[in-house]
A and B are shown apart, each in its own frame.
Chain A
């Protein structure tokens, strides 16, 4: 089946630094990737949609200069949290689709900003 990986699974960084999260589709070409944020005991909140080779489309209220998304190839998208602050601490999940009906989700990345 379709597998999506994320790296790292956990990351702790100091306030003011930047951190990059990778999302890879391992056995299919992902025309579209999605980035979600999930707070404890809450649902997933879509942050942005990225299509390979084009700029990401951000949801309302998501700062595009803070959450930089790059989808440089059909198997890799990256999310960079710039100048991270404690309120950016969250569980970040990516998903990928090859253009059909369903999204395949990565295992998530737990970001803690100290």
Chain B
């Protein structure tokens, strides 16, 4: 079975500072990895995804993530955050199998708070 651990439940950061949100996963098969952002009372928006190829993935809003297979990690980074980045961030994994393997497994979420 797959699982996802987001190591930090809350991350406070000052505006324009860099940030890293950590995500580790466990899986016995190949995986696809995702980061989603959720603003209050809204659904989830995809930030970026890793399917294959280059381990450094760039997404929207200046975010990027690096897939590290040996450390089973997929940490999310942004070099300079803005107030508007304040939101909940979810890491998710699904197995690389076929039709029956489409379920996403979510981490617990990390609340990113940007302080002026």
Contact = CB atoms under 8 A, between A and B. Distances in A.
State yes or no: do A and B come from one complex: yes
A68 interface: no
A49 B103 contact: yes
Contacts of B108: 42-43
A103 B101 CA distance: 13
Nearest to A10: B41
A25 interface: no
Given A43-B90, A43-B109, A44-B90, A105 B103 contact: no
Interface stretch (B18-26, B44-52, B67-75): B44-52
What does DSSP make chain A's interface, helix, strand, loop or mixed? strand
Contacts of B107: 43
B104 A103 contact: yes
Interface residues of A, number: 24
A101 B49 contact: yes
B112 to A, nearest CB: 14
Interface residues of B, number: 22
A33 to B, nearest CB: 11
Contact of B51 (A42, A95, A101): A101
B53 interface: no
B32 interface: yes
A102 B90 contact: no
A43 B107 CA distance: 7
A10 B72 CA distance: 39
Given A42-B108, A43-B107, A49-B103, 13 more contacts: A4-B43, A32-B99, A34-B103, A34-B104, A42-B109, A43-B106, A46-B103, A101-B32, A102-B34, A105-B43, A105-B45, A108-B42, A110-B41
What 3 pairs between A and B have smallest CB-CB spacing?
A105-B43, A105-B44, A107-B43
